[in-house]
Structure 1
Amino acid sequence: MLKSQRLKENLNSLMKEQKLAVLATYHDEETYTNLVGFAASNDLRSIYFVTPVATRKYSYLTGSGKASMMIDNRTNTANDFKDAMAVNANGKVVVAEKTDELKKLYIEKHPYLQDFLESPSSALIRLDVDRYIIASSFQNVMELDMT
C-alpha cells in the first residue's frame, strides 16, 4: 500500500473516531482557540462545525476567512508519546448552507447537537482544507497537500 494512501486511511479513521477539535482563529494579532464538535467529509477536503453567529469565534472566522484545527487521539497517558496522533488542518473558512446532506453528515456524528445546528442563530462553517500536518509517534511529522 502506498504511504500516502495509508496516511489518508489513518487520517480518515481519526476523523471518524474523534468528536472534538481545537479550532484556532486569528484577529488583530491575537490568536483565539475553542473546542468544537466537527464532522469531516469522506474525501477529507472539508471539515464542518457549528457556531453561534453572535460570538467572537464567528466574527474572527468571517473576518479573516482562515482557520486551523487540531484533532488528536491522546489519552493523557505516557503512551501518548509513542501512540498518539495529532493532526493540524489548515485552510479557508466559509459559511456553508445547511443542506439536508450536510445536516445529515453532522447529525450522524453529533445527534445531541441537532437543535444547535438547526437554530437560526447558529451557522454551519466549512473549513476547506489546504493541507494536513500529521504528527505521530511523538516526532514523526508528515504533510498531506489537499489542493
Structure 2
Amino acid sequence: MLNTIINIGRSIPFIILLLILLPVTRFIVGTVLGTTAAIIPLSICAMPFVARLTANALMEIPNGLTEAAQAMGATKWQIVRKFYLSEALPTLINGVTLTLVTLVGYSAMAGTQGGGGLGSLAINYGVYRNMPYVTWVATIIIVLFVMISQKLGDTLARKVDHR
C-alpha cells in the first residue's frame, strides 16, 4: 500500500501537482502566490521522493548485519542507530543531495506561481519582457548551484562511507 502511494506521488509531474494543490495551498497559506505558497507543493513533492530514496538505502543493508547485531546483544534501537543508520548514511546523504538538486529544478518551476527566486526572474524578465539573456544567466546560476551542491553531497557521502 505504501509502495503504491509513493509511486503515485513520484509519478505526478511537478507543474501539474502545483496546479492540483492550489486549493490546498490557499487553505493552508491563504494565498496561491509567492514564496510561502510555493513551499506547500515543494514539500509534498519531496515526501514520496525522500521516502523512496530512504527505503532503497535501507534495503541495501544486508540481512546478515541485523542478525550479527542481534547475536551481539544489541537492542532494536541500537540496531537502528548504530548499524542501519551508519551503514545507510552514505546512501542517505546521496539521496538528500539528489532531493535538493531536484527541488532546485522544481522551485524554478514554482516561479510560474510567483514563487520567487531565479525561476521567477527567468520567467518574468527573460520570457515576459523578452530579455533572453536574463533566462540564460538564471539558468547558468541554477546549473552552478546544482553542480556545487552535488559535489558537496558526494564529498560528504565519501567521508562518512566506511565500507
Structures share fold, TM-score greater than 0.5: no
- Say which structure is richer in strand: 1
TM-score, normalisation: structure 1: 0.23
Normalized per residue, the structure richer in helix is 2
Larger radius of gyration between Structure 1 and Structure 2: 2
